[in-house]
């Protein structure tokens, strides 16, 4: 127990230390806030301009979550298809790899062309950013399902759907959650890219405008918000993951609670 507390204290201290070091170095070398604002300046900006930043943060969060949601739904369906059918695997995998190699910035103008500037292209960009890791992981998880476990179901004359539901999907959950943590952060990247290019709302747009007027502390305030949202989402999924897939790491808390 004390070992755990010590580790937590140490890690927290190191993270705080990083920002303190940043602050001190800026002060020591007299770095202008137009080049690199100090953390304290960023915090002050966040505090004083909160009413102006807040709606943008909400917009970005909302857009990301919707895009992420669609991404999860489509990602799971595609992953299940690819993981359970050889033909789908052969067809979809090269296409997916090719598609994910396209820089998403290049896709945003196309979305804008189709749907106009604003929320829709941002949602779509967030979605396509996060689909790839989810598809790959779900498909891998299904493919990695032990044939012995499937045989258990087959001797019981289980249908394909029952096998998928009782063995395939639970077996895939650790892979799925690992991909969610990556996908959640990618979804933010997607949203912000789209907002930067074609939107009048959202953190991406806020940072665009701020940097064009050399309001660097506000740009950094936007970055801080994005980082905080990303960390928040990551934590949420880690908690869900621990509850759902504790069996994979054989955690005692899972055994006691689950």
Partner 1 sequence: MNAPLAHPKPRAVDNVIELEKVRVTFGTAKNAVTALAETSLRIDKGEFVALVGPSGCGKSTILKLVAGTLNATQGNVFVAGREIGAGAARIGMAFQNPTLLPWLNIRDNVMLPLKIVPPFKERFSAKRKTEYRDRVEASLTQVGLGGFGDKFPWQLSGGMQQRASLCRALIHDPTLLLLDEPFGALDQFTREELWEIMQNLWIEKRPTVLLVTHDLKEAAYLASRICVMQARPGRIVDDSTVPFARPRTIDVSFEPDFVTLTQRLRQRIVAARAVQEIVS
Footprint of partner 1 (CB under 8 A) = 146, 148-149, 151-158, 162, 166-167, 170-171, 173, 245, 247-248, 250, 254-255, 258
Instruction: Supply the DSSP symbol for 250.
Output: T
88 burial level (CB within 10 Å; 0-12, 13-18, 19+): middle
Tokens of 90: 């052969």
For residues 88 and 149, which CB has a smaller minimum distance to partner 1 in the complex?
Answer: 149
Residue environment code for 50-68, b if the CB has 16+ CB neighbours within 10 A, otherwise e: eeebeebbebbbbbbbbbb
For residues 36 and 149, which CB has a smaller minimum distance to partner 1 in the complex?
Answer: 149
For residues 58 and 249, which CB has a smaller minimum distance to partner 1 in the complex?
Answer: 249
Instruction: Supply the DSSP symbol for 30.
Output: T
For residues 231 and 255, which CB has a smaller minimum distance to partner 1 in the complex?
Answer: 255
| In the complex, minimum distance from the CB of residue 139 to partner 1, in angstroms, rounded to a whole number | 19
| In the complex, minimum distance from the CB of residue 249 to partner 1, in angstroms, rounded to a whole number | 10
For residues 45 and 245, which CB has a smaller minimum distance to partner 1 in the complex?
Answer: 245
Tokens of 30: 């007299």
| In the complex, minimum distance from the CB of residue 149 to partner 1, in angstroms, rounded to a whole number | 6
Q: How far is CA 212 from CA 208, 215, 235, in A?
A: 6, 8, 33
| In the complex, minimum distance from the CB of residue 155 to partner 1, in angstroms, rounded to a whole number | 4
Tokens of 95: 């296409």
| In the complex, minimum distance from the CB of residue 1 to partner 1, in angstroms, rounded to a whole number | 21
| In the complex, minimum distance from the CB of residue 80 to partner 1, in angstroms, rounded to a whole number | 18
Place of tokens 């808390």: 253
For residues 231 and 249, which CB has a smaller minimum distance to partner 1 in the complex?
Answer: 249
Q: Which of 88, 89, 96, 191 is nearest to 134 (CA)?
A: 96
């Amino acid at each position: 127990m004390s070992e755990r507390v010590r580790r937590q204290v140490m890690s927290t201290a190191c993270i705080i230390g990083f920002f303190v070091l940043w602050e001190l170095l800026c002060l020591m070398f007299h770095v202008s806030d137009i080049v690199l604002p100090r953390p304290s300046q960023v915090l002050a900006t966040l505090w004083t301009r909160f009413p102006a930043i807040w709606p943008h943060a909400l917009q970005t969060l909302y857009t990301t979550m919707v895009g992420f949601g669609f991404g999860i739904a489509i990602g799971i369906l595609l992953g299940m298809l690819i993981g359970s059918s050889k033909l789908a695997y052969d067809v979809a995998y090269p296409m997916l790899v090719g598609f994910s190699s396209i820089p998403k910035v290049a896709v945003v103008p196309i979305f804008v062309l189709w749907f106009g500037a604003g929320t829709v292209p941002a949602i779509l960009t967030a979605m396509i950013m996060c689909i790839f890791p989810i598809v790959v992981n779900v498909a891998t998880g299904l493919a990695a399902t032990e044939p012995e476990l499937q045989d258990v179901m087959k001797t019981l004359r289980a249908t394909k759907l029952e096998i998928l539901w009782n063995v395939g999907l639970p077996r895939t959950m650790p892979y799925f959650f690992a991909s969610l943590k990556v996908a959640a952060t990618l979804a933010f990247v997607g949203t912000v890219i789209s907002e930067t290019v074609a939107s009048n709302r959202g953190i991406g747009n806020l940072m665009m405008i701020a940097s064009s007027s050399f309001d660097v502390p506000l740009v950094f305030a936007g970055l801080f918000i994005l980082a905080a949202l990303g960390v928040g989402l990551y934590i949420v999924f880690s908690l869900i993951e621990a509850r759902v897939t504790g069996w994979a790491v054989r955690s005692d808390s899972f055994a006691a609670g689950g």
